[in-house]
Chains A and B, each alone.
Chain A
C-alpha cells in the first residue's frame, strides 16, 4: 500500500462540521428525536445478585392510570435466539446479577412509568452469590482466548529462570479498579415496531453492528431493522456492543405496535447494564542486568467475567510487544462471578495492561539507578518481540525524547521526596503509551455526484463526538480532489452502506480508507467531469502489508504530581503526552481525542473506582456525585503533541488510530511521579490521599 492519499484538507485543523448544531442544541441525540405520541419505558430490576423470581405482582402497576403495558418473563414473547446471554432477557425466572432486567413498565409519561415500576412487587428466592474478584478465587479458569481473539497465554523462553538468574528483579502485584465508561449521554433508544420492521433511534457506536446483534435475537432479518444514530454523546466502548436495554425497548415496542417507545437508562442503571472494565490484578515480573537490559518480562493477569457470559480483557497483551526481552510470558485467568458482564472500555487490554508494567519499569529504573527514559531506550526492540516482524513504524524513543525536551525532564534529580513547594511535595514521572493499529475490513462507501461540483458520500459510520463526521469529509474531499465544502456526508444509518463499529480506534482509518477506495473507483469510472447522478461504490481495501509488519502507535506521557504533606491530597498540575500515530488527519480533533484520553487516564489514576459491596453484589457509588471522574479543577496544564511519522504501510491514509492511546500509560506516569514526590510507591489504583497518610 504505497498510494498514500495526498493531503490538502487532510492534516488541516478543520472545525467540527456539526459544532454549531451541537452547541446550539439542535443536533438530535437518540432520545431527542421528536416522535409522535411516545410511550416511556421504565425497567424492573433485580435487587439480589443471584436467585429465582418466585413471584411478580404487577397488578398495582397495571392499575395505575397511564400505564400501557407491563412486561415480565411471564408474558414476554420468546426470543428467537439466546446465544448472547446478555441479550436473552425476560426468558426465565433466573437472576444472574443484581440490577438485571426483570421486566418493564411502559406508560404515557416517564413519571408514571417510574412510579408504576416502584409499585411492582418482585419476590426472589435468593441464592448465595460470589461477586468479589480475588487472585486466589477458587474457580479461576483459563479462557479460550482473550478479547477479541488473542491467545490467552504466551510464553517464550523461561521467565522464572530469567528472574532467578537476573542481577535485578522486580516482582510486584499491581491492581486496577473496577471502572464504568460513563459517557455523558446515557444509553438510550427510541423504538418503533410497525409492519414487521423495527426502527431504532439509538445511541450506539455502530448502527450496523447493533442491527447485526439484535436482529437474530428478535427473529428478524437484518433488513427488517433500521438503526439511526446521527449524533452520539460518547460511548468509550460501552456502546460498541449491543446491551440488553435494546432488547427490552424492542420487546416493549413489539407489545405496542405502531407506538414509539422511548427508553433512556438512568445514570444509576448504567452501572449495571452498560458494560464496564473488569478490575485487574497483575503480577508483573521484570528481570534485568545491572545496566537495566531486560532478560525477562512476565505479566500474569487475574480478572473477572460474569458467570453467564464471558468477556476476557486482554490485559497481558501490551507486555508482549513493548520491550525487548528474551524470556517473556503473559497469562490471563478469569474468575466467573455473579456480576454484570464486563465489556469494552477505552483501550481494553492496553489501558490496564500498561499500568502494571510501566510502573514496574519505573521501579526497575530506580533499582538500576537509571533514568527511566534511558531504561526504556535500552530495551527498545528492533522487531516486534512477539511476532518477529518489523514494525511498520515505531517511534517510542522519539516520543520519549521529544517529550523530555518539552517537559523539561533533563537534569531531573531522581531522588524521591527531594523537592517541595511549601507543604506540597513535588515529583515527575514518565510512562510509555502504545495502541495497536486496528484496520477493520467490512465497510462500504458510495460516492455520488450531485451536480454543481458537489458530491454525496455515504458510509454508515458513527460520530461519538470524536469528530468522525469532520475527518471523513476531509478524507472524502482529498480523495475526490475537491474542497471539504463540496462534500455532503451521510453517516449513522443502516439505510446507508455498511460500516464497522467505532471501536478499537479503527473508525477513521477503516471507514476513511473505504471512502478513498470508493472515490478512486468513482474517478476511474467517471473521470474528473462526472454527470449528475453518477455513482460508485467501494469496500474497505485489503492491506497486504498487514501480513509483513507489526503495526502500532506509540507515545510517551509525562506527569508532574504534587502530594500535600499534611493531607495526602494529590494534584497533577502538568500532564504532557507526545504521540507517534502516523499522519494526523485533523490536528484540532486529534488534540481533543488525545487530551480527552489523557484526562480519562488522569481520572483513572486519581479518582475512578466503582465500589463493590460484596454483600449485596452491586456498585454502591453508582452516580456522578459518588463515582468521581476528574473535574475541571483536577486537570492542570494538559498538552498533547505528536511527531511527524510517515508510515506508508498502515493504510492509504498513512494514519493510525488515536481514540484510545491517550488513556494508555497516563496512570503509570502519575503513579511514578507520585513516587518521585513522596517516596511512596502506590501499586493499587486509584491513588487516593489515604495512601500517603500516616
Chain B
C-alpha cells in the first residue's frame, strides 16, 4: 500500500472539483472494494475524497411516485427500506443477496455500482490483464473462467460485472444521477456500464471526476411483481454464477410489460430485451418462457470452462418467470 492523502468531502461540487483536478485522486465510498484494491496494488490513488460525508444518505419518494436512493445510502439500509421492499422487491432481494451483512453495512449505492470485476487475474498483479494493464493480455482466456462472461465479451476481456444490485436496477429502468466537472446529467443504469470491446480498462461511461449522487427508480406497476434470483456456488456470501432480475405486468391473462436482466454473464448488467419482446403481449406460458430464454441466449458464447452457464441462465430465467406468475395468481 502506498501512502495517500485522505479528505472528507464537504459538498458535492467541491469533491468533484478536487478529484477532477488531480488525476490520481478518487472518491471513497464504503471502501470495501477500493481499499482491497489499494492493498493488492491494483489501485494507487494519491488522494481519497470520502463522499460518505455528503448528505447523500437519504431515500426519498419523488413527485412522480418513483424513489431516489442517495449514492451514500448503505446497501443494508436500502435493502431494509420499507418502500424499496414493498415497491421494488427485486432490488431488496438483490441487495440482500450480495456480500455479507458486515460488507453491506459499509457498502454504498455509488460504490456498489462502480465496484470492479472479481476476475481473479484482474485482482492479481502478477498475472497479465488488459483491464488492469491495457495491452498486457487477458489471462482469463484459456484460464479459470467459471465466473466469466457468456454474452457481450471481446477477445480482449471476458470479465463480468459482479454487482447484484445493479442487475435489479437495470431491470427496473433505474437512472443514475451524476455530477461531473461539466455539471449534472442522467444516465440510465443499463447504459452506465460498457461492454469491454477493445477498451476493457473502461468499466463505465463515466469520466474522471464524475460523482454519482443518486439512483432514481421510476414508478412502475410491474416492479411490485419483481424477483431477483441469484445462483451461486454456496448458499450465501458468493458472487453470482448467474442471476436474473425479472418483473412481469400481467393483465387479463396476458403479459403487458416484461423486464428482464441477467447478472454474472457479461461485462455489464445484461438487459434481456429479446427475451422481453418474446414475453410481451402473450399469455405467460411455460413454452413462452423457454422461447424467451432461447431468444436471449442464442448468441451466447461460453468459454472453455463456463459452458454450463448457458443452460444455467436459461433454466434460471424460466424458473424465476414461473415463480412470478404463480405469485400473481
Which residues does A use to contact B, with CB under 8 Å? Answer: 47, 111, 114-115, 118, 423, 566-569, 571, 606-607, 611, 613, 615-616, 618, 620-622, 625-626, 628, 630-634, 688-690, 693-694
Contact A625:B118 (CB < 8 A) given known A631-B234, A633-B236, A689-B312:
yes
Closest chain B residue, CB of each to CB of A47: B126
Interface centre among B3, B144, B236 (most CB of A within 10 A): B144
Check A690–B312 contact: CB distance below 8 A: yes
Closest Cβ of chain B: how far from A563's Cβ, in Å? Answer: 13
Check A632–B236 contact: CB distance below 8 A: yes
Residues of chain A with a CB closer than 8 A to B121's CB: 620
Check A115–B236 contact: CB distance below 8 A: no
Check B143–A567 contact: CB distance below 8 A: no
Partner of B235, one of A567, A611, A631: A631
Check B316–A566 contact: CB distance below 8 A: yes
Check A628–B233 contact: CB distance below 8 A: yes
Residues of chain B with a CB closer than 8 A to A423's CB: 319
Q: How far is the CA of A634 from the CA of B124 in the complex (A)?
A: 28
Q: How far is the CA of A620 from the CA of B127 in the complex (A)?
A: 10
Check B316–A620 contact: CB distance below 8 A: no
Contact A634:B144 (CB < 8 A) given known A620-B121, A690-B312:
no
Check A566–B1 contact: CB distance below 8 A: no
Check B231–A569 contact: CB distance below 8 A: yes
Closest chain A residue, CB of each to CB of B143: A613
Partner of B1, one of A114, A615, A632: A114
B62 within 8 A of A: no
Check A630–B234 contact: CB distance below 8 A: yes
Check B312–A613 contact: CB distance below 8 A: no
B142 within 8 A of A: yes
Check A620–B143 contact: CB distance below 8 A: yes
Q: How far is the CA of A487 from the CA of B148 in the complex (A)?
A: 58
Interface centre among B231, B233, B308 (most CB of A within 10 A): B233
Residues of chain A with a CB closer than 8 A to B14's CB: none
Check A606–B234 contact: CB distance below 8 A: yes
Check A689–B236 contact: CB distance below 8 A: no
Check A567–B319 contact: CB distance below 8 A: yes
Check B233–A694 contact: CB distance below 8 A: no
User: Which residues of chain B (230-279) have a CB below 8 Å from chain A?
Assistant: 231, 233-239, 241
Check A567–B312 contact: CB distance below 8 A: yes
Closest Cβ of chain A: how far from B257's Cβ, in Å? Answer: 24
3 nearest CB pairs, A to B = A690-B308, A633-B235, A633-B236
Q: How far is the CA of A619 from the CA of B312 in the complex (A)?
A: 26
Check B308–A571 contact: CB distance below 8 A: no
Interface centre among B39, B139, B235, B312 (most CB of A within 10 A): B235
Interface centre among A115, A607, A613 (most CB of B within 10 A): A613
Q: How many residues on the B side are at the interface (Cβ–Cβ under 8 A)?
A: 32
Residues of chain A with a CB closer than 8 A to B241's CB: 689
Contact A566:B319 (CB < 8 A) given known A115-B3, A615-B142, A693-B308:
yes
Check B124–A620 contact: CB distance below 8 A: yes
Check B308–A628 contact: CB distance below 8 A: no
Closest chain A residue, CB of each to CB of B235: A633
Residues of chain A with a CB closer than 8 A to B143's CB: 613, 615, 620
Residues of chain A with a CB closer than 8 A to B316's CB: 566-567
Q: How far is the CA of A118 from the CA of B1 in the complex (A)?
A: 9
Residues of chain A with a CB closer than 8 A to B12's CB: none
Check A115–B144 contact: CB distance below 8 A: no
Q: How far is the CA of A445 from the CA of B198 in the complex (A)?
A: 69
Contact A111:B120 (CB < 8 A) given known A567-B315, A616-B127, A693-B311:
no
Interface centre among A111, A571, A606, A690 (most CB of B within 10 A): A690
CB<8 Å pairs between A and B, sample of 8 = A47-B126, A111-B3, A118-B41, A567-B231, A613-B143, A688-B233, A689-B233, A689-B241
Residues of chain B with a CB closer than 8 A to A620's CB: 120-121, 124, 127, 143-144
Closest chain A residue, CB of each to CB of B316: A567
Partner of A115, one of B1, B118, B127, B312: B1
Partner of A568, one of B2, B234, B237, B312: B312
Q: How far is the CA of A567 from the CA of B316 in the complex (A)?
A: 6
Residues of chain B with a CB closer than 8 A to A568's CB: 312
B192 within 8 A of A: no
Q: How far is the CA of A626 from the CA of B36 in the complex (A)?
A: 14
Q: How far is the CA of A688 from the CA of B139 in the complex (A)?
A: 24
Closest Cβ of chain A: how far from B266's Cβ, in Å? Answer: 19
Check B231–A689 contact: CB distance below 8 A: yes
Closest Cβ of chain A: how far from B242's Cβ, in Å? Answer: 8
Check B308–A607 contact: CB distance below 8 A: no
Closest Cβ of chain A: how far from B291's Cβ, in Å? Answer: 16
Residues of chain B with a CB closer than 8 A to A630's CB: 234
Binary interface profile of B, 33-54, with partner A (CB < 8 Å = 1, else 0)?
0000001010000000000000
Residues of chain B with a CB closer than 8 A to A693's CB: 308, 311-312, 315
Residues of chain B with a CB closer than 8 A to A613's CB: 127, 139, 143-144
Closest chain B residue, CB of each to CB of A571: B235
Q: How far is the CA of A585 from the CA of B234 in the complex (A)?
A: 35
**A571-B235, A631-B236, A633-B237 given; 18 more Cβ-contact pairs under 8 Å:** A114-B1, A115-B1, A423-B319, A567-B319, A611-B146, A613-B127, A620-B144, A625-B239, A626-B118, A626-B120, A632-B236, A633-B234, A634-B234, A689-B231, A690-B308, A693-B308, A693-B315, A694-B311
Residues of chain B with a CB closer than 8 A to A567's CB: 231, 312, 315-316, 319
Residues of chain A with a CB closer than 8 A to B39's CB: 114
Check B312–A628 contact: CB distance below 8 A: no
B318 within 8 A of A: yes
Closest Cβ of chain A: how far from B292's Cβ, in Å? Answer: 15
Binary interface profile of B, 103-125, with partner A (CB < 8 Å = 1, else 0)?
00000000000000010110010
Q: How far is the CA of A115 from the CA of B40 in the complex (A)?
A: 10
Closest chain A residue, CB of each to CB of B319: A566
Interface centre among B2, B142, B234, B318 (most CB of A within 10 A): B234
Q: How far is the CA of A632 from the CA of B234 in the complex (A)?
A: 10
Check A631–B142 contact: CB distance below 8 A: no
Closest chain A residue, CB of each to CB of B238: A628
User: Which residues of chain B (1-29) have a CB below 8 Å from chain A?
Assistant: 1-3
Q: How far is the CA of A631 from the CA of B101 in the complex (A)?
A: 12
Closest chain B residue, CB of each to CB of A625: B118
Residues of chain B with a CB closer than 8 A to A616's CB: 126-127, 139
Closest Cβ of chain A: how far from B1's Cβ, in Å? Answer: 5
Residues of chain B with a CB closer than 8 A to A689's CB: 231, 233, 241, 308, 312
Closest Cβ of chain B: how far from A100's Cβ, in Å? Answer: 13
Q: How far is the CA of A611 from the CA of B2 in the complex (A)?
A: 30
Check B237–A115 contact: CB distance below 8 A: no
Closest chain B residue, CB of each to CB of A118: B41
Q: How far is the CA of A690 from the CA of B147 in the complex (A)?
A: 12
Check A634–B235 contact: CB distance below 8 A: yes
Closest Cβ of chain A: how far from B24's Cβ, in Å? Answer: 15
Residues of chain B with a CB closer than 8 A to A626's CB: 118, 120
Closest Cβ of chain B: how far from A103's Cβ, in Å? Answer: 16
Check B312–A621 contact: CB distance below 8 A: no
Check B2–A115 contact: CB distance below 8 A: yes
Residues of chain A with a CB closer than 8 A to B318's CB: 566
Closest Cβ of chain A: how far from B235's Cβ, in Å? Answer: 4
Check A611–B233 contact: CB distance below 8 A: no
Contact A111:B312 (CB < 8 A) given known A567-B319, A615-B142, A634-B235:
no
Residues of chain A with a CB closer than 8 A to B231's CB: 567, 569, 689
Q: How far is the CA of A634 from the CA of B232 in the complex (A)?
A: 12
Closest Cβ of chain B: how far from A681's Cβ, in Å? Answer: 18
Closest chain A residue, CB of each to CB of B323: A423
Check B311–A621 contact: CB distance below 8 A: no
Q: How far is the CA of A118 from the CA of B241 in the complex (A)?
A: 33
Closest chain B residue, CB of each to CB of A626: B120
Closest chain B residue, CB of each to CB of A45: B126
Q: How far is the CA of A300 from the CA of B270 in the complex (A)?
A: 47
Closest Cβ of chain A: how far from B99's Cβ, in Å? Answer: 9
Q: How far is the CA of A638 from the CA of B315 in the complex (A)?
A: 31
User: Which residues of chain B (113-163) have a CB below 8 Å from chain A?
Assistant: 118, 120-121, 124, 126-127, 139, 142-144, 146
Residues of chain B with a CB closer than 8 A to A632's CB: 236
